[in-house]
Structure 1
Amino acid sequence: MSSRNLPDDKKLIDLQRFQLLVNAITDYAIYMLDTDGRVVSWNAGAQKFKGYTSEEIIGQHFSQFLTPEDQKAGIPALALQTAETEGRYETEGWRVRKDGSYFWANVIIDAIRENGRLLGFAKITRDITDRRKAEEALRLSEQQFRLLVQGVTDYAIYMLDKEGNVSNWNAGAQRIKGYRQEEVVGTHFSRFYTDEDQQDGVPQRALLTARTEGRFEQEGWRVRNDGSKFRAHVVIDPIYNAINEFVGYAKVTRDITEKYKAAIALKQTEQALQQAQKMETIGKLTGGIAHDFNNLLQIISGNLQLLSAEIAGNQRAEKRVTNALAGVRRGAKLASYLLSFGRRQALDPKVVNIGRFVLEMEDMLQRSLGETIEVETILADDLWNTFVDVAQVENALLNLAVNARDAMDSVGKLTIEISNAVLDENYARAHVEVNAGEYVMLAVSDVGSGMPSEVVAQAFEPFFSTKPEGKGTGLGLSMVYGFVKQSGGHANIYSEPGYGTTVKLYFPRSTELENCVVIQTVENIVGGTETILVAEDDEQVRHTAIEMLTALGYKVLHADDAQSALAIIEAGVKIDLLFTDVVMPGPLRSPELARKARELLPDLAVLFTSGYTQNAIVHGGRLDAGVELLGKPYSREALARKIRSVITNSIQR
């Protein structure tokens, strides 16, 4: 039964009930307007947030609830017209309370008709100021977040859709990756990956990991718009909306190239420190035993040479002495190699042109390597001078040449190249032990079997060798390395299995003129009649030296320490040459002995001898200026020549 068929008293009861219901609602303003827009009813909710009592508002036009701006714009008339013609007018906007304060309202106006005739309007207003504030706060927060993201330039922050296409782009992304927003939005993010990573499917795995595991995080190389690469730290997170639907990915990329380079540099520095500590340990070890070991070799060598004069004509005995002396030389060579690797060798550098020096060695190298090895020397024009120990360069070149010959099984081509080289800051950063600057490069190349990278990494290590047991000591390359480093230079190996090896030695450039002073030497083994004072603390070494010098015709005085030797000189004895060990016990050091002796005898010649010089007459790895040194163990011939050379040079001084 419809309400129109109800009795009048029943209709009245229903209307009263409806009015009670409407009046009881306090969260909504529910009231009626007549066709002109005047208020004809007013509920408790309307009074609550509009502030008017029913007595104050009924009969008043609803337009007073609108702001002056809306009234001027004709909004009240527009609202009623829309409701009348379309059945409903709905909007949100600012409304005015009785006290003049504003609130944000959701407004609905419905037309009320009976039998098609317009009776008026039903108006429902809800105060949604709190919701409006929350939405505004959210909007401001989102705006601030967007501004924040756009303002970040150290991070590339952007979003991807579900397929991995870029959907937005911040200023940091443009700075780091080099793309403008219009160039990249809508394209797939895999374009930022290297070709290798794309072929390996890294972008796809990244999205899968982010989706299934909640995050993808990685460091790797990425590509900028200009094709250059940078080291990146990348994080990709999945994004879900309010109802937990997956909508895409958030991607944050940071350029960590400098950090990566710094970490590599730190690692190289740590490796260099470890190498330096190893060198120091080896240096202390070799230095600690070298003096005593070489003294022992000197005793053996000296006595064998003295014995050889006594057994002249006995071929069997002479052969045994020769074999024993060969063993002494091998022992001395091993000690020398260890000292060189440990950078404890006493260098005697001169300013030289290595190109000229190497050309003079060509014939000797060819004889050493044999006719089946072709030797080619390539010299660059206008070679710079360098400051090196020529004898050590000769040893290094010979070692490299012999290694090359063995790598080619004694058949092939050996190329020696000498040129000027500039090692720049980039090279120095990649090789932390290298100082950037100008160098003279000596390179030795072969066409042999080559070496794999793991062998190259150990090639300079002492006692490391790829040769069969008994075919090498493993000290040749380590000696070369130690000598080059002690000379302030740099050594590097380039090799590829099956294609050969190149060893490059870099010696610092010298801007001084080549040292062409020729020291007079004596080719034949000759002695003399001068008086020599031998200062040596080791009794057996001292006795051997005395016998060798006496056999050469010299008058020999001796002392077992520096203080005793100075006492002999102070006694007024005429002495032509002081032959003193560098390292001896006692309060007076050998260099001080030499200085005081020359104060008393200005024409005195001084020759030092030692198996290990420590820092007494060697500083910065080089002999002090004007110092003459004969290393132990020395042969009778070497002793004779050095004595004559030092005496002759002293006379010419």
Structure 2
Amino acid sequence: MTTSLSFMDNGGEMGARMRAHDWSTSCLGDPHTWPQSLRSVVSACLNSPILGTILWGPEMCMLYNDAYIPSMADRHPAALGKPVAEVWGSAWEQVAPQFHQAMATGIGFSSSNVELMILRHGHLEQTIWNFSAAPIVGEDGKIAGLFNQGIEITEQVRRERAIHQAQQTLERTVDETTRDRNRLWELSTDIMLRCGFDGRIKTVNPAWKDVLGWDNDDLVGANLMELLHPDDIDRTIAGVQELADGGYHTRFDNRYRHKDGSYRWISWSTQADADSIYAVGRDFTSERENAEALRSAEDALRQAQKMEAVGQLTGGLAHDFNNLLAGVNGSLELMKLRAAQGRFGDIARYIETASDAAKRAAALTHRLLAFSRQQTLDPKPTDVNRLVLGMEELLRRTVGPAVAIEVIGARDLWTALVDASQLENSLLNLCINARDAMPGGGHIRIATANQQLSQRAAAAQQMPEGEYLSLSVTDSGTGIAPEVMSRVFEPFFTTKQPGEGTGLGLSMVYGFAKQSGGLVRIYSEVGRGTTVCIYLPRHHGVPEPAPASAQPQLPTAHANHATVLVVDDEPSVRLLIVDILQDMGYDVIEAADSAAGLALLQSDTHVDLLISDVGLPGGMNGRQMAEAGRVNRPQLRVLFLTGYAQTAVFGGGQLDEGVEVMTKPFNIDALCERVTKMLAPR
């Protein structure tokens, strides 16, 4: 029995194509025999102004309307009646699980802001969609297909993101200016002002004198419009009206008269409240005249990112340098003491200890300067495994004792042609981000690998096929929400609180990788952590050699009267303390981290006094180790030695009875006096 095809009427181009189509080879069969359920939904789809497609049967064969045609690009009209997987390929694989689940359960769904990589017009495009699928019940009561409707919102989202980014940049500028107002107001080289909507100036900062020659007395109470270039007055009045209507400007350029009569181009960022306009302006006259603005902005962005990385290090630098100074100063004091005692045989060891500490201090200074200097990329054949191992101690210091670092270097790792200092800078930034994603502590894995990307794998990663070296940083932190993932590489985008980050780190890592011929990819799951992977092209060459470094010699312990446990991860400091205590006649036990120290404290080993650094590796800091050890040894006396200021470590609170603190570097006589006092009978 056959029926008419009137349900395809009024369907525009696709209705006509369906009526004329040869269905003999299609999985759908002759439309005269289509069930009423399919005929009804086809009629609704063809007459819908919204993008729509019907996925029918086990193979999900496609029937679509005119609104769907633009998204098909060169797939139209061959897609008519074909299985959706055959038509869309890898793009279908990205969303297929949702559709298969709807077919299996009979429960429809809708999805918003879904990012899909679609091959159109011969190249991959990143697109964004809102779409839904509703099950179609067949005559037998079972799910026979899905009615899929949607809309592509790629351009809309891009515009919204651009607007949001600009607004976020302005808001951060306003917040940071408010927080540091006094300092910025006095020291800023940019001009700042607050004025009324009538142009009457309420207050200005001192930079006006340097930029435009006018001082506070000249400007406060005057009308800003009187300084404008005549050609810019109407446009500026319109800009003021935009602010009065609730808008803002991330960049508004106009000319102002210098006190000498010349005009200077000023680029403003502005925002307003109910009665005032707040504006920060930068003189870009020379940039405009010399067309150098872009290069200057890129250099400033790179330098800001480097300095942010240096800022992240400063909390631990004082601790590291004080540790090293303690090794140098203590060795010199012991050399002097041994010389006075006539014990010249020990002097060579102290000379070696002091020399090693001094060399490590110089290396730390050199590394800091490498991070802070401003330079263009200087790519050289680099052994990335060696680079990572060389940074391992610095990274452990930076992330702190609450975060464990695991380094997995691939065997026979390929060479990369890369700027080593910039790669170090990128690795440091990724580890800092990983640390910040684990406020309660956690685990970071740094891994290298050789990657051979086939054409298909490279296309999925939007990279050229070939051989790559990968450097990845994986954390066990909070992960990245989907709505944040698409923005992580945007300059100035950050989820951190104001003052805790500029939002430059990942954008600069991305830019560095691209500039080096590679790419960066992020893989994340909320609540389960994040992996950031830098891909660098393989370089067929031999890496440059690295200078050899001497390892410090660890001291050995002896046995005597009262027993002291020394826990410090700095070998030179630990050696000096052990020698001093042994000279005083004490038995000394030593440990290099909190795990080993706690194991001794929880054993049957007799300990009268614990001397410990505060910043220790091993899963807990010195305070936590001592507190855990005193659970079963409540009378244990504890002396903390720290490179940080005491208030920074212990706050303003009272120390427990039997607990004292000394700050590194310390004087040997002072240490002897403090130990003698703490071990005196009570």
Coarse TM-score class (shorter-chain normalised):
0.3 to 0.5
Q: TM-score, normalised by structure 1?
A: 0.35
